[in-house]
Amino acid sequence: MKKNIFTIGLVILGTSLNAQVTDSVALGAGYANESYYNMADGEVANVINNNWDLAFDMSNFGATIRANRLDEVYVYPGEIADWETLDTAGITDWTRYYNSDVNWTYGALNAAANPDEDTDLGWGVYNTTTHYTEGSRLFIVKLQSGEFKKLFIEELGAGAYTFKFDKLDNSDLTTEVITKTDHGDQNFIHYSLEIKEVVSREPNSNQWDIVFSNYHSEIVPDLYYGVTGVLSNHTTEVQEINDLPVADATFEGDFDSEANVIGHDWKSFNLDTYTYDIADSLTYFVYTQTEDVWKLVLTGFNGSTDGKIYFTKEMVSAAGIEETNNIEISTYPNPAISSLNISTAEPLKRINLYSTNGQLVFTDSNISNSLIQLDVTEFENGLYILEAVTSEGTSTIQKILIAD
């Protein structure tokens, strides 16, 4: 799905609403971690990425099952009835399945689906009568340790996944049930076949916009390779501008909901210097859950030593901030260059000035008249939120732009 920004909110083109911020995240040596990131608040979680094997879709109608990038997933070529006797003979000739980096709803266990059958979800078939998805394939999972597990997703019904797994010699059978309503605030719940436990690692879906991670990408048809890059939350949309200098780039038109719009190709390995070159004239505009738009520019990458990624960000549209007019107030000039005049029809108890990320940058509770003149020369250019509060506790919110 693509969303047109002009149909849903306030748009200010070519104007920085918030000061540019330089930031970085570190994925650790060998890209061992993932970094979940909120454009306004920064990193919200930096979590180890090798302590799980399966990730189950928690959305109401989702049936996606993704696999850890370090595991190998194969479909057993025999019948479900072979559960007790199956082995890995000939596995080197079997197809290995991968998660999609384009769409979160297409996991490694969904990849074997017959594209001509709408009800075939890869690991199971959706029953249009019972509304259950019933397991239809056996899987062999080669864990990061090198051990093989056989796996059968028995069903998804009434909001619960039921699955079983065992060693190939049938000596360690485990059956599990994961109920969606127990974990409804997250996109995926992760599970370790090694320790036989749910692993709580992903922040709530409304807390993050993008994730910095190491994952597989289909470099050419049917050839997957491990890459390090940026994927967007399913509630986040991104627009790429690649034909203008970064300073001149503005967003316009459609935003894209594919997870890998930012992806990994903003960098390339330089064989002469053994460092990474960052693409010139490449800008991303990130449309967040709060309907704000952020300009994101990737500026550096350290590689596998510490997995550090450098970037700049700045808010360029604050559609998610709603003004209120509970008391009569006039602010001028707006944009404010050197001073801001605040005129009210009733006495104020306090005025507060906030940056768009919620930081209080100024407050004044010593107000003696109905016309207040605020010196703004000490504030950086950008968008601010003015809150005016009366002695009765009534308040008004207005957006104030400070410019040169």
Helix (H, G, I), strand (E, B) or coil at 7: helix
**What is d(CA 234, CA 102) in angstroms, rounded to the nearest whole number?**
10
Structural element, H or E, at residue 175: strand 174-179
* CATH code at 329-402: 2.60.40.1930
Q: State the CB neighbour count (10 A cutoff) for residue 7.
A: 6
Q: Would you say 162 and 154 are in contact if contact means Cβ atoms under 8 Å apart?
A: yes
Q: Where are the domains of the chain?
A: 2-48+205-318, 54-199, 329-402
pLDDT, tens digit (0-9, with 9 covering 90-100), for 4-49: 433 323 333 333 445 689 999 999 999 999 999 999 889 999 999 9
pLDDT, tens digit (0-9, with 9 covering 90-100), for 143-179: 999 999 999 999 999 999 999 999 999 999 999 999 9
pLDDT surpasses 90 at 116: yes
Record the pTM: 0.79
* Mean pLDDT score across all residues of the chain: 90
Q: Which two tokens stand for residue 4?
A: 């047109």
pLDDT class of 317 with cuts at 50, 70, 90: confident
pLDDT, tens digit (0-9, with 9 covering 90-100), for 334-358: 888 899 999 888 888 889 888 765 6
190-197, long-range: CB < 8 A, 24+ apart? 190/52, 190/54, 190/55, 190/56, 191/52, 191/53, 191/54, 191/55, 191/56, 192/51, 192/52, 192/53, 193/53, 193/54, 193/141, 193/143, 193/149, 193/151, 193/165, 194/53, 194/143, 194/145
pLDDT, tens digit (0-9, with 9 covering 90-100), for 243-298: 899 999 988 888 999 999 999 999 999 999 999 999 999 999 999 998 888 999 99
pLDDT surpasses 50 at 1: no
Mean pLDDT across 112-122: 95
Strands 210-220 and 267-270: unpaired
Cα angle, residue 274 at apex, residues 272 and 280 outer, rounded to 5°: 80
What is the percent of the chain where pLDDT is above 90?
A: 70
Strands 348-355 and 42-48: unpaired
Amino acid at 142: K
pLDDT surpasses 90 at 316: no
